Amino acid sequence: MQSILCVEDSPDAVLLLERALAGYRVDFVSSLAEAREPLLRQDYAMILLDLGLPDGTGLDLLVQVKAQARRVPVICISGATDFESKASAFTLGAEDFIMKPFDPREVRLRVDAKFENLRQQSASAGVLQFGTLRCDLETQRVTYGADEKALELTTLEFRILTMLAKNPARVFSRAEILERVWGAQVSVTERAVDVHVSNLRKKLKNTGASVEAVINEGYRFQSA
Query: What's the CATH number where 182 sits?
Result: 1.10.10.10
> What local confidence, expressed as pLDDT, does residue 52 receive?
92
> What local confidence, expressed as pLDDT, does residue 128 receive?
85
Of the three residues 89, 123, 157, the one that is the final residue of a domain is 123
Q: How does pLDDT run along the chain (224 residues), one tens digit per residue?
A: 678 999 999 999 999 999 999 989 899 999 999 998 888 888 788 999 999 999 999 999 999 888 876 678 999 999 888 888 899 999 999 999 999 999 999 999 999 998 888 777 766 668 888 878 889 888 889 999 877 889 999 999 999 999 998 888 789 999 999 888 887 666 778 889 999 999 999 999 988 899 999 998 999 998 86
Handedness of CA 42, 47, 52, 58 (dihedral sign): positive
Instruction: Return left, alpha or beta for 118; rule: phi > 0 is left, psi -120 to 50 is alpha, else beta.
Output: alpha
* CA–CA distances in Å: residue 173 to residues 16, 51, 176, 214, 223: 40, 48, 5, 9, 19
Regarding whether 107 and 72 lie in a shared domain, the answer is yes
Regarding whether 78 and 13 lie in a shared domain, the answer is yes
Domain hosting 53: range is 3-123
Of the three residues 107, 123, 139, the one that is the final residue of a domain is 123
Regarding whether 119 and 133 lie in a shared domain, the answer is no
Could you tell me how many helices (H) and strands (E) the chain has, helices first? Answer: 8, 13
Regarding whether 105 and 14 lie in a shared domain, the answer is yes
Upper half-sphere CA count for residue 107 (Cβ side, 13 Å): 29
Regarding whether 107 and 33 lie in a shared domain, the answer is yes
Tell me how many domains the chain contains. 2
The string of DSSP codes covering 7-47 is: E---HHHHHHHHHHTBTBEEEEE-SHHHHHHHHHH---SEE
> What local confidence, expressed as pLDDT, does residue 184 receive?
64
Regarding whether 138 and 117 lie in a shared domain, the answer is no
> What local confidence, expressed as pLDDT, does residue 104 receive?
95
Beta bridge partners of 144: 149
Regarding whether 146 and 71 lie in a shared domain, the answer is no
Regarding whether 134 and 114 lie in a shared domain, the answer is no
Regarding whether 43 and 67 lie in a shared domain, the answer is yes
> Do 177 and 160 contact (CB within 8 A), yes or no?
yes
> Do 210 and 222 contact (CB within 8 A), yes or no?
yes
> What local confidence, expressed as pLDDT, does residue 220 receive?
93
Regarding whether 136 and 100 lie in a shared domain, the answer is no
Regarding whether 85 and 191 lie in a shared domain, the answer is no
Predicted model pTM: 0.62
CATH number at residue 39: 3.40.50.2300
Rounded to the nearest 10 degrees, what angle do helices 58-67 and 32-41 cross at? Answer: 20
Of the three residues 84, 104, 123, the one that is the final residue of a domain is 123
Regarding whether 166 and 97 lie in a shared domain, the answer is no
